[in-house]
Structure 1
């Protein structure tokens, strides 16, 4: 299992995480003295889906020697701006905001301090050495509280806009291995963190590029339950790919 956030703890940084995941696979194959033809599968949910999906996009150009036979990703923040809007002010999931903000800044070598309010700098100091799963939580936090008044429209800041653009899934490359995507939908929008339509759109776009994709949506499932439902399906999917079982693409259903 690769440490895809790297030494900077660059949580949420897509291309860096994808490359690190592929480097981790390379390292594992070397340690195992495994042949280059060894079949490889990748799987990730939520934060792990960022590394997994970007690794799938980068692999054809960055690691063409790897024999990737299947990729499963669930709870994917396809468009980080959509995720930010969705969790903004959420009693349960607003905690994601500062962690993604700080991790992305680390990954893009961006000094956040000029853009932050005094409260924002205090929050960033609190989470500096923590993971999102066990660090400080901020129920109902709003992005506007973290940013100073002159930077409330964060999308208009060129350095922020670059991060959003480069972290948008589907724009870095086209996977070649069969894909399984999974998304929860508890409120008609998504799972409380991830907008389900973003995953559906990305899956459909890959279908149009000739990639074999299966998209599963879990009605009534929040982010945590979606993860519980995703992993057994992901495991079965990858075992079938390792066994060489023919893959029945779900692209015809997505097109409808």
Structure 2
């Protein structure tokens, strides 16, 4: 018996590239910075500076699982994990290379260390939290789709994000900053980030739903993970 030829998708590779790009930018620019804004009624709100951008990677995860299935989203998660690992290694090498001996480079080295000299805790926190949160998000999304027979997309997106971001945000802040930031600041940042990410996901739902509908029509695919192997440590679809 001849094996079925693997399907070629129009947009899967582009979505994978976009997801990895967002993930790298969100983790390299701003995650270790705590920002504050004063809001009416709420007062001073503290949050991670990457707050507006990292949740976009979860939207990609929802779209990939909804259209292409858990197995293909799993490949994207591992691609993102590999990109984060390489970025961390490259940053480590560049920061630790001896700078040229001149006044300009002496000052510039300090800026490079400030921007890319993240501690091992921040790097480990980013990678562990991303993997755990992304796999949880995709797993819940896939299981809810089968359970609801493909209905209630909004509930599946928000519900899966609630689980994934709980793990992601909690693990990242705990691993990266426990014992460094005051506990009240950690709690404030966690609460602000977690609920903002859920609200952000809900606000962007109309765009997400249209994107999902477009992809399903363009790809001729609406995957249900009824017989899927949910082992995260495999690349098989």
TM-score interval for Structure 1 and Structure 2 normalised by the shorter chain: under 0.3
Which is richer in helix? 2
Based on CA coordinates, which of the two structures has the bigger radius of gyration? 2
Which is richer in strand? 1
TM-score by length of 2: 0.27
TM-score by length of 1: 0.26
Q: Relative contact order: is structure 1 or structure 2 higher (C-alpha 8 Å, sep ≥ 6)?
A: 2
